[in-house]
Structure 1
Amino acid sequence: MRILLLSAYDTPSHRHWCEILMEHFQHYDWTMLSLPARYFSWRVRGNSLSFAFGKPGLLRQDYDLLIATSMVDLSALRGFVPSLAKIPTVVYFHENQFAYPASQQQHKSIEPQILNIYTALAADKVAFNSEYNRQTFLSGARELLHKMPDQVPTGLLERIDTASEVLSVPLSPVSVDSYRDTSSPLQVLWNHRWEYDKAPERLFAALKLALSSGVILELHIVGQQFRQTPPVFDQMERYLREHYPGVIQHWGFIENSSDYQQLLAACDVVLSTALHDFQGLAVLEAVAAGCIPLLPNRLCYREWFADNYLYTSFEDIDREAEQLASKLGALATCKAMREWPEPPCVDRFSIIRLCKDYSRLFEQTIHSQNNG
């Protein structure tokens, strides 16, 4: 089988998904084209130009299947390269443009949302990485289309719904064994992108409250960083180093993958304060390495984990900080008393478990167009 794989905004999580599919399905003949994850507005609107006129020879070859991320402007790309319209196509939604926090400046325009709808309608099959992702897409698209003045055809979302399913991004196999130090303070990991939608100000508020209440812990604040990061990170680092010397054990991105895996295996708790997460891959990877998840009761987290791993979430930062600080205190006490709980099982996200579902999706997509 010859597969053309297009990733229009190649973030690390998107790249991970592409690489693990190509690695596990090595018996397929893959051609992958990707565009850097920068200049969001241009990339969303211009990726069809970049692909169609930047790599015309590769796009016009014979393929059995086209797999595109949801950022690909599939309808325009098929117009520029008509032969692509004949290829059975899966569109994969790592995220959707309807469920981002409203304050994010790059999402003020409705164009990314409209393009999400066009791309989903142009596909034969649509896969979402979580039910939360799927439902927020459908409800957001329904609300947007309802606002349009006229000439909105009926049945558009029903068509997408019928063609859609939930198929998570697979986890790579855990490469190191857990080796937690039972005599050390509670080892707390926050391993997310250093951007506003991961709510670092909520993290800061909870940590200040927990530490001032006497909770004994050590922090590992890691994750992908950018040229511009929210100022709260500098404020948080200065405050913690000044008022609680020694609490910070790691601060900043860990370049070496092996070192990062070893950190996951050594931490007790993986923490999230996110306002935006469609699958929570960073959390799932840490849980697979043995961490206990401590997550807000919102987003995709409610889909994956039982209530005892969630803290009550509020719009009010201080009220949420009280909930999180209390949970941290309880876990610190559990560790001190050698009463550590078992982490939840996330085997269902392994590539070994998911490979049959991906194979089925590929085969069904080819079959559905050939018999459509």
Structure 2
Amino acid sequence: MAEASPHIWLLSAYRADSHAAWADWLQQHVHEVHWHVRELPGRHFRWRIRGSPLSWLDDLPGQTPDRIVATSMVDLATLRGLHPRLAPVPVDYYFHENQFAYPVSPGQVESLEPQVVQLYGALAADRLLFNSRFNRDSFLDGARELLRRMPDATPERVPERLAARSSICPVPVHPIPAAPERDHGLILWNHRWEYDKAPDLFADAVIGLARAGYRFRLALLGARPRTPPDALTRLRAALPERIIADGRVATPAYRELVGRAGIVVSTAAHEFQGLAMLEAASAGAIPLVPDALCYPEQYPEQYRYPVGDAAALQARLAAWLTGDRPPPADVSPWLAPAVEPAWRRVIRGEQAESVV
């Protein structure tokens, strides 16, 4: 008799961006298991990270699973406490991000609670999976600092214990094919227009580039709030004739623009894997990224510029636009063909080995 396929719960308490891409990819590509998926919309962050056990209190499958794969937005310790039948079930806890390294937005009140939820979740899990070494290391460093601040009764060697059951397993990125013709003067921005992506730095650099007389075009993609951010307003006012795309576009149009772009830029103040940059680099756009966060793992020094330095960013863009540019970056270790076998081993419960 054939062995029954395992029942896996996939719990994602914040369906947005990389969380959604990852959850969908697992279901579409790992077929040898029975998936039971519970997700919550990617909004109301503080309610999601603390309230997911309440949202799912009466909404978990009746059959106890063989394994649970939960994101770090799930309050795993509370969930297991509310459902004693889950105590013996092995759990993989997946970090798309961690709250120790997430920048606080202007006007936001800093709180320890999201950090503590993730620390408890990590302690309650059997294995920890991170999408980059930067994500893992900043989480462990943050946990170490939090424990250092405890006034007394502090447990010993918690970060070391967590590190021993941690592995790197990126979100699989589907490569985008290059367009038949490359537009080397097309600069692509394909990120959210929010504070943590620092779009003002990008605007400063490209407006300065235009004033210096360099020829280029802009594709301004990515989600943006209803009220246009200052950076986008400035770009529209200063460079209207250079903008060939402005807004979220349908998938075919997005892939065509990404496949045609000559340069793709990040100015992020936070990035744990950088899916948008990896997509563009897979299509042959030359990536230009800050020398920080997850980027040193992915791109050699020639693709990086000093953090927060608009003048350095502008100078590098100027050099590349005039022909002094490096070859496309090799991001194949981060793409789905390289990452898929590792995820299959994880889902089968085999030893998780770091991919990159």
Confirm or deny a common fold (TM above 0.5). yes
- Per-residue CA deviations over 1:64-116 (Å, capped at 9, x if unaligned) read 11000000000111111121222111000000001122445446111000111
Query: Post-superposition shift, 1:257?
Result: 1.0
Query: Post-superposition shift, 1:362?
Result: 3.0
Mapping for residues 111-150 of structure 1, pairs under 5 Å: 111-150=113-152
Mapping for residues 184-203 of structure 1, pairs under 5 Å: 186-203=185-202
CA distance in 1, matches of 2:236, 2:9: 44
Determine whether 1:283 maps to 2:282: no
Q: Which amino acid aligns with 2:51?
A: G
> Do 2:126 and 2:165's aligned partners in 1 also have CA atoms closer than 8 Å?
yes
Q: Secondary structure at the match of 2:56?
A: helix
Mapping for residues 300-315 of structure 1, pairs under 5 Å: 300-314=294-308
- Per-residue CA deviations over 1:285-329 (Å, capped at 9, x if unaligned) read 111111110111111111111011111224xxxxx1110111111
Determine whether 1:252 maps to 2:250: no
- Per-residue CA deviations over 1:7-62 (Å, capped at 9, x if unaligned) read 00111211101111111111221111100111111111111100123x13x1x313
The share of aligned pairs that are identical, in percent, is: 40
> Do 2:223 and 2:248's aligned partners in 1 also have CA atoms closer than 8 Å?
yes
Q: Determine the structure 2 residue equivalent to 1:370.
A: none
Determine whether 1:172 maps to 2:174: yes
Q: Which amino acid aligns with 1:253?
A: R
Q: Which runs of 4+ in 1 moved over 6 A?
A: none
> Do 2:197 and 2:267's aligned partners in 1 also have CA atoms closer than 8 Å?
yes
Q: Determine the structure 1 residue equivalent to 2:316.
A: 327
CA distance in 2, matches of 1:75, 1:260: 40
Q: Determine the structure 2 residue equivalent to 1:274.
A: 268
Structure 1 range deviating more: 21-30 or 224-233: 224-233
TM-score if structure 1 supplies the norm length? 0.89
Q: Determine the structure 2 residue equivalent to 1:76.
A: 78
Give 2:293's match in structure 1, choosing from 299, 312, 323.
299
Query: Post-superposition shift, 1:258?
Result: 1.4
Q: Determine the structure 1 residue equivalent to 2:65.
A: 63
Q: Determine the structure 1 residue equivalent to 2:343.
A: 358
Query: Post-superposition shift, 1:341?
Result: 4.1
Q: Secondary structure at the match of 1:275?
A: coil
> Do 1:69 and 1:94's aligned partners in 2 also have CA atoms closer than 8 Å?
yes
RMSD: 1.8
Q: Secondary structure at the match of 1:4?
A: strand
* 1:104–1:21 CA distance, 2 compared to 1 (3 A): farther
Q: Determine the structure 2 residue equivalent to 1:108.
A: 110
Q: Secondary structure at the match of 2:307?
A: coil
CA distance in 2, matches of 1:364, 1:27: 13
Query: Post-superposition shift, 1:216?
Result: 0.9
CA distance in 1, matches of 2:56, 2:227: 28
Q: Which amino acid aligns with 1:331?
A: W
CA distance in 1, matches of 2:170, 2:186: 28
Q: Secondary structure at the match of 1:154?
A: coil
TM-score if structure 2 supplies the norm length? 0.92
Q: Determine the structure 1 residue equivalent to 2:155.
A: 153
- Per-residue CA deviations over 1:149-203 (Å, capped at 9, x if unaligned) read 12221122222111101111111243x443234xx56100010011110001101
* 1:178–1:185 CA distance, 2 compared to 1 (3 A): closer
CA distance in 1, matches of 2:67, 2:350: 8
CA distance in 1, matches of 2:136, 2:228: 29
Unpaired segments of 5 or more residues in structure 1?
315-319, 368-372
CA distance in 2, matches of 1:356, 1:79: 32
Give 2:46's match in structure 1, choosing from 14, 31, 41.
41
CA distance in 2, matches of 1:340, 1:274: 22
* 1:41–1:228 CA distance, 2 compared to 1 (3 A): farther
Q: Which amino acid aligns with 2:247?
A: G
Q: Secondary structure at the match of 1:86?
A: coil
Q: Which amino acid aligns with 1:251?
A: D
* 1:215–1:94 CA distance, 2 compared to 1 (3 A): same
Q: Secondary structure at the match of 1:127?
A: strand
Q: Secondary structure at the match of 2:214?
A: coil
> Do 2:319 and 2:325's aligned partners in 1 also have CA atoms closer than 8 Å?
no
CA distance in 1, matches of 2:174, 2:257: 16
Q: Determine the structure 2 residue equivalent to 1:212.
A: 211
Structure 1 range deviating more: 97-106 or 40-49: 97-106
Unpaired segments of 5 or more residues in structure 2?
1-5
Q: Secondary structure at the match of 1:268?
A: strand
